[in-house]
Structure 1
Amino acid sequence: MTVSESGTSALDVDTDDERVAGLVDLVTVADGTTDTIPVEAPFDGEQVGAIPACGEADVDVAVERAREAQQSWADRSIAEREEVLSRFQDLVLDRQSELLDVVQLETGKARRTAFEEVQSCALTAGYYSHRGERFLGREKRKGVVPGMTQVEVNHTPVGVAGLISPWNYPFELALSDALPALLAGNAVVLKPAEQTSFTALKGKQLLEEAGLPADLFQVVTGRGPDVGPAMTDRVDYVGFTGSTETGRIVGEQAGRNLLKYSLELGGKNPALVFPDADLDRAVEGLVHGSFSNAGQLCISIERCYVHEDVYDEFLERFVAATENVELGTGYDFEAEVGSLVSEEQLEKVTEHVEDAKARGATVHTGGEPRPDVGPYFFEPTILTDVEMDMDLCCEETFGPVVSVYPFSDTDEAIAEANDTDYGLNASVWTGDTEFGREVARQIRAGTVNVNEAYAAAYSSIDAPMGGMKDSGVGRRHGPEGVKKYTEPQTVAVQKGQGMAPPDGVPYWLYAKVTTGALKLFDKVPGLR
């Protein structure tokens, strides 16, 4: 098995769109890999190019090259690694327009949503570029015997981190997970979603322009069943963002291999609107929180619980605001909502809505595909009278569809919000922020926003983000988001007397003195 000097083998792959021209050359492939996968633009369904359909042999090459590059990268100072992230942030901001074009081309999302995605990635790069030493430097800890036991903790890189990223936020969720892994001294092998691999390759291109060694960040494109298991068998850490169903498979394989892993999975996220909420603000926030990226966002709102005192007024305003949402395919900032990513996604959303309608749900607005706008567009949709036996009630729809329910008291609302296998994100709307915090603490979700749908918590990069219950394992963002890519190592230096009784001292006396010392240490604040 060989690989060319540049890290790729020559493939006869046509690229039909100049915005992604040359990016396929950044894929790591082994000699003999010739199969390809077409990539289409959701706005019009036309093919824009093709990517290599990689498999086990290609993963072998990628991991081998990454592992060879990792040691010299880990030997660099944390400050040097921070500089690469800082330069990457500058490139993302300076080249924003071309990035937005590629993101829109592959996902079909509105440019506003693409802008949010690119800005979030830049925010992550900037955050970690200033905190490497704080999070990864040697930590002094208290020793068992004050003054005689000196303890420090080192954060050593795991080695090669394998990341499997989804199609809905292909730039942010590929790069924002890779950046802290690289900062921690690891190499990365990335398997992006086959629908949106060009976006991830654009990120690799910018990282290398920022000074990252080329072999350190490998991209292997292809179908999940062909690449994912092979990667999980070869890397030292696996991170996955996607469906709960696939996450269980990844977690099971990682467990068999005794790998550290993180999973950010599905959500059926609730919003709770209390009678003292600012309804104008709540309606505006929940229109964005429910329909941004055509609802293809794991932390978007799919269930709204509204207090009966304001239910009718909220629903009327919510429907009116949703009917004014502008759909579009433009590469400008005019449209608010773009396309679903594929025919498969359109079919799933349509099936959920049609099942609910057939079982008695009421559609207040939307409810239909919009082929007049583009092949995979679906109208922003609001339903009521959604019951537990409907797929729409409990399963993640991942589309521009939200159901609205009345409630009569706080305990009922919290119980309804928690009545799901998921626990990723939630939203609370109230004029009393202390009350909002108290409600939030009772909701079993990894992030809860008060008077916001999702952006306040997700964009606060200093705080951890992830799911409870079936919504995942582990966290991204904050110190947790970089330390997960390390192995903590404790180094203890003992001075003077060791941990055993001195020669000639009977053990009963040693035990008595040690017990007295422990009692003393517990009562003296400086010794605890």
Structure 2
Amino acid sequence: MFRLVRNLGFFHSGISKFSVEERLQLVRTMHSLIKNQAYVDGKWTDSREKKTFDVINPANLKIIGNVPDMDVKDVEKAIDAAYDAFHSQEWQNKTAKDRSNLLKKWFTLLEANKAEIAEIMTSESGKPLAESFGEITYGNSFIEWFAEEARRIYGEVVPSPVASKSITHTKHPIGVAGLITPWNFPHAMITRKAGAALAAGCTVVIKPAEDTPLTALALCKLADEVGFPPGVINVITSSRSNAAPIGELLCKSPKVAGISFTGSTEVGKLLYRQCADGVKRIGLELGGNAPFIVFKSANIDHAVAGALASKFRNCGQTCISANRFLIQDDVCEEFIGKLINQMKCLSIGDGACSCTKIGPLINEAQLKKVKGMVEDAKQKGAKIVHGGRHMKDIGELFFEPTIITDIKPDMKLYTDEVFGPIVSIIPFKSEEQALKIANGTQRGLAGYFFTQDLNQAFRVRNKLEVGMVGINEGLISSTEAAFGGIKESGVGREGSSHGIEEYVYIKYSCFGNLN
């Protein structure tokens, strides 16, 4: 196997002339990471009812595989397996060094198999291959990071107020963690959660999005090869119709100690309520409505480059994508002109083509949402200055990168997260006005602003009501940085040294009568 994965880079370059489906078929005949079964208690398994659902390539709507359509009975077995594994001697007796070594081995295999994972991810998510490789590098780094952090889960010795007593704080894994992950980053959202949970000593039940289960199963295949004990890692797959009851089960099962969810604010609120009865640990990374502010003091070329990076990655389908472009009057025309020139260079098409910069939207529901928001703005007086077209000539789910001006507060593009390749231009006159608009939402995940005025940079950074700020920068995600929002954009943090805190609790011990 190791000889094969070393040759995958050559294999990938040698089959670039084939379509993504043909490449995946060739990969299947060699060393396939494409699995059509879920993974429970160390075994590849079908659903109890033998039901399946299709996985669709959004670029051409072709079926690229099918996976088990599991229900709550199936997931109960996965929860039982994770619960038993957590309490087993084989996992409980693992030292931090043991867990670290397992994660390091997983990281090594993930790195060796980048090419095939990228092919799988592009085929089911639609994102360009270059972006898939970028996500894999980013996602793998979480496994590497938490392999190191596993050995740094330190406790404390607290000075006692009484001479005969000794006080310690130690950190312990919470137990079974239910991880519910989205389709837009099908690799990194799993590794960011699972890496931390496993490093802490938890076991996991992973529920990937129904649009992108194949990437999750590929990661699990490599974890299986590493030798994690049975039940430590479980991946369950389901169609959209079973997603809600499965989510409720994970939230309400007394055997699940915590939930980590990345997705919409609406679903996050529901899961939050469902976890309340069990007073369950929960981490939520929810929707955003990121402002992108360009002050007259900004370097406009830097601002345009930042806008391209923040807005059009994954066709605008990221939770920290710039959503409302607040441009100071003095530089608004210049910014729009330069942005249009750069957008004309964005090639649109199947992500399997190496020249593609913008892929399709993920599914029909997302296309309908984007089209509806653009149409709503047009009907209320907004002006499309670039793009605006549903690109049926390329494929059913492609939408042209678009710039819209004359945005008003009664438009959906002003108030809602678009999750698509739409730039909504809102001019402003003063710093105070920009901050009022930027903060005038219940979402507070990320925000961006561009200025060459250092005083303004610190002032705006402090007043912007978000959990993450990009200052003269459009790409801010990093393994070492704490990822998360405020307001209705979630609770808790992922990545960084803080990410592991979601999966441990502090135990206070008082040793008495020491004299």
If the length of structure 1 is used for normalisation, what is the TM-score? 0.87
* C-alpha contact 1:268 1:302 (8 A) present in aligned 2: yes
CA drift at 1:413: 1.0
Q: Which residue matches 2:36?
A: 24
Matched, 1:141 2:158: yes
Counterpart pick for 1:51 among 63, 67, 72: 67
Aligned AA (2:80): E
1:196-236 per-residue CA deviation (whole Å, 9 max, x = no partner) reads 11111111112222332242111111131132112222211
Among candidates 389, 412, 417, match of residue 433 of structure 2: 412
Structure 1 residues 382, 31: CA separation in 2 closer, same or farther (over 3 Å shift)?
Answer: closer
Structure 1, unaligned runs of 5 or more: 1-14, 498-528
Query: In structure 1, what is the Cα distance between the partners aligned to 2:500 and 2:315?
Result: 30
TM superposition shift of 1:93: 1.8
Deviation string 1:121-176 (CA, Å, 9 cap, x unpaired) is 12212221212222x2332233334x554222111111110011111111111221
Q: CA deviation at 1:52?
A: 1.2
Give the match for residue 503 of structure 1: none
Cross-structure match for 1:284: 305
1:343 aligns with 2:396: no
Q: Which residue of 2 aligns with 1:88?
A: 106
Counterpart of 2:408 (choices 387, 395, 399) is 387
> What displacement does 1:417 show?
0.7
Secondary structure (helix, strand or coil) at the match of 1:205 reads helix
Match of 1:8 in 2: none
Partner of 1:208: 224
* C-alpha contact 2:467 2:485 (8 A) present in aligned 1: yes
2:467 match: 446
CA 24–411 in structure 1, closer or farther in 2 if over 3 Å, else same? same
Check the 8 A contact 1:326/1:335 in 2, yes or no: yes
Provide the residue aligned with 1:257 in structure 2.
278
Change (3 A) 1:496 1:219: closer
The residue that corresponds to 2:458 in the other structure is 437
For 1:299, the equivalent position in structure 2 comes to: 320
Shift in alpha-carbon separation, 1:131–1:285, aligned structure 2, 3 A = same
- Aligned match of 1:79 in 97, 117, 136? 97
In 2, Cα distance between the equivalents of 1:236 and 1:51? 27
Question: Is the alpha carbon distance of 1:211 and 1:391 closer, same or farther for their aligned partners in structure 2, counting shifts above 3 Å?
Answer: same
Residue 428 of structure 1 and its aligned partner are, at CA, apart by 1.3
SS of equivalent residue, structure 2 residue 497: helix
The counterpart of 2:147, out of the listed 129, 134, 146, is: 129
- Indicate whether 1:329 and 2:353 are aligned: no
Q: Does 1:422 align with 2:458?
A: no
Correspondence for 2:184 among 143, 159, 168: 168
Contact 2:38 2:236 in 1 (8 A): no
- 1:31/1:281 Cα in 2 relative to 1: closer, same or farther (>3 Å)? closer
For residues 350-499 of structure 1, the aligned pairs below 5 Å read 350-453=371-474, 455-456=475-476, 458-459=477-478, 461-495=479-513
Give the distance between the partners of 2:455 and 2:195, measured in 1 at CA.
35
Q: Which moved further from structure 2: 172-181 or 206-215?
A: 206-215
Give me the whole-angstrom Cα distance separating, in 1, the residues matched to 2:172 and 2:203: 13
Q: Is the 8 A contact 2:48 2:74 kept in 1?
A: no
Cα pair 1:165 1:241 within 8 Å, conserved? yes
Given the alignment of the two structures, is residue 318 of structure 1 paired with residue 330 of structure 2, yes or no?
no
Match in the other structure for 1:99: 117
The structure 1 segments of at least 4 consecutive aligned residues displaced by more than 4 Å after TM superposition are 19-22
Please state how far the C-alpha of 1:323 moved relative to its aligned partner: 2.0
* Cα-to-partner distance string for 1:101-125 (whole Å, 9 max, x where unaligned): 0110110011222122111112212
C-alpha separation in 2, matches of 1:142 and 1:328: 63
Deviates more, 1:18-27 or 1:222-231: 18-27
Measure the CA separation in 1 of the matches of 2:351 and 2:134.
16
Corresponding letter in the other structure for 1:427: Y
Distance 1:327 1:141 in 2: 59
RMSD of the TM alignment (CA)? 1.8
Q: Is the aligned partner of 1:231 residue 2:215?
A: no
Q: Structure 1 residue 99: deviation in Å? A: 0.9
Q: For residue 465 of structure 1, report the CA deviation from its aligned partner.
A: 1.2
- What CA deviation, in whole Å up to 9, does each residue of 1:393-450 have, x standing for no partner? 1111111112111111111111111011110000111113453132111111010111
